[in-house]
Amino acid sequence: MVKESQLSERLRDKRAIVTGGSRGIGAAIAEAFVMEGASVAIIHSNDHVRAEQTLAMLKEVDEKCLVLDCDISDPQQVRNGFDVVQSQFGRIDILVNCAAVGGGSRFEDATLDDWNRVLGVNLTGAFLMSRSCYPTMKKNKWGRIINISSQWAFSGWFEAAAYFASKAGLIGLTRSLAVEAAPFGVLVNCIAPGATLTDALRSCTPEYLARLLPKIPLGRFGMPEEIAPTAVLLASEAGAYYVGQTLSPNGGDVLR
Report, as residue numbers or ranges, the catalytic residues: 163
* Rounded-to-integer distance, Cα 2 and Cα 16, Å: 19
Measured CA to CA, the distance from residue 79 to residue 72 in angstroms comes to 9
In contact, 97 and 124? CB cutoff 8 Å: no
| Beta-carbon count within 10 A of 254 CB | 14
The C-alpha angle 25, 84, 46, rounded to 5 degrees, equals 45
Question: What does the alpha-carbon distance between residue 103 and residue 10 come to, in Å, rounded to a whole number?
Answer: 36
**Residues contacting residue 76 through CB under 8 Å, at least 6 positions apart:** none
Distances (CA, A) of 206 to 84, 220, 221: 42, 14, 14
- Residue 249's identity, in one-letter code, is P
**Nearest residue to 33 (alpha-carbon basis) of 187, 231, 225:** 231
Rounded CA separation 190/234 (Å)? 9
Q: What angle do CA 131, 151, 244 make, to 5 degrees?
A: 40
